[in-house]
Structure 1
């Protein structure tokens, strides 16, 4: 039997940022302080994905919490979605009232578009939240692949843009830099990440 090609070998991953060890971002992850609490509602299928940027966003955001959707342990904490002043980052749905104060908590769905759509249909608390909709990303946004939705971007990019909209570009800049660095490292290394 022939040995497995090194291109097909599984590369060891960082247990914290989930990238291959030679691409590890842990030393580059900033500590970003926001007034707005970011509640990342992560689909259970996203946890082990090497492309999962929601986990990296959670590491960078001091005022954040990550809940897992689709696991028994995450469902017990879904009451956090009903806290007053909670908005949902999502491209359509009920916008906040024009006179509404900024959110105290922003729910960010960390999932594929189809998973996110199902989450908003199945989690009753999400359906009633005011929505923060971001404009589609600029053509120059660094990406690893084309999104399946016109407003599509990585969770880390979406969080950076939402923080910029709510708290200013200066607060969001470390998150945007981290997202760009992640894409740059992976792109420089080719497809093996």
Structure 2
């Protein structure tokens, strides 16, 4: 029986192991669009927690938890006027619709995100912002399970580029690449 290796301590802010901490590199990105990141409870403990990193980088973001036992989710936030959902399937916004004032981003696996949209009626009613599939050269830690799959940080960066302009997304794109490079160089998230 091999000895159990204890995990390295994590940064309390970005949740990555201390030796991979990105806190000093997290930019402050100003956006007109408010980002409401709805994080599945299972994602909270994951070391690769890019939804949390995206929320730290965006000045106009709020991170909420979905699915925690006994925790109430204020779904009224999902029904505010001008709210859209970042999701590849579902009803697109009318072509003449104004840009969203608030974008809901689901920080979850594809199966978790699908269940979230099924269980939260407020999400089903929202117009959708669908991003084109990622370019083949996108740096990733693993292959996605969905053709439009990417990390939450990558998805937020691409949404910022669409809604706020490509220049606004550059700091987030750099952060996403740096995160993957650091983890790849170390070979592990432990």
Common fold by TM > 0.5: yes
Give the counterpart of 2:122 among 125, 137, 143.
125
In the TM superposition, structure 1's runs of 4+ consecutive aligned residues that sit over 6 Å from their partners are none
d(CA) in 2 for partners of 1:25, 1:91: 29
Matched, 1:107 2:104: yes
**Paired position in structure 1 for 2:15:** 18
**CA 1:146/1:125 → structure 2, altered by over 3 Å: closer, same or farther?**
same
CA contact (8 A) 1:85 1:105 kept: yes
d(CA) in 1 for partners of 2:72, 2:91: 25
CA contact (8 A) 1:67 1:74 kept: no
Structure 1 residue 47 displacement after superposition = 0.4
Matched, 1:97 2:94: yes
CA contact (8 A) 2:78 2:104 kept: yes
**Paired position in structure 2 for 1:73:** 71
CA contact (8 A) 1:13 1:19 kept: yes
CA contact (8 A) 2:37 2:63 kept: yes
Q: Deviations over 1:125-156 (max 9, x none)?
A: 00010000001100000000001111000000
Q: Deviations over 1:71-103 (max 9, x none)?
A: 24341x221000000000000111111110000
Structure 1's unaligned 5+ residue stretches are none
Matched, 1:168 2:126: no
Number of aligned positions between the proteins = 189
CA contact (8 A) 1:14 1:24 kept: yes
**CA 1:175/1:21 → structure 2, altered by over 3 Å: closer, same or farther?**
same
d(CA) in 2 for partners of 1:190, 1:67: 30
Q: Deviations over 1:35-84 (max 9, x none)?
A: 00000000011001011100000000110011111124341x22100000
What is the TM-score with the length of structure 1 in the denominator?
A: 0.95
Secondary structure of 2:36's partner? strand
d(CA) in 1 for partners of 2:103, 2:18: 31
Q: Once superposed, what is the RMSD of the aligned Cα atoms?
A: 1.3
Secondary structure of 1:145's partner? coil
**CA 1:78/1:139 → structure 2, altered by over 3 Å: closer, same or farther?**
same
d(CA) in 2 for partners of 1:148, 1:172: 25
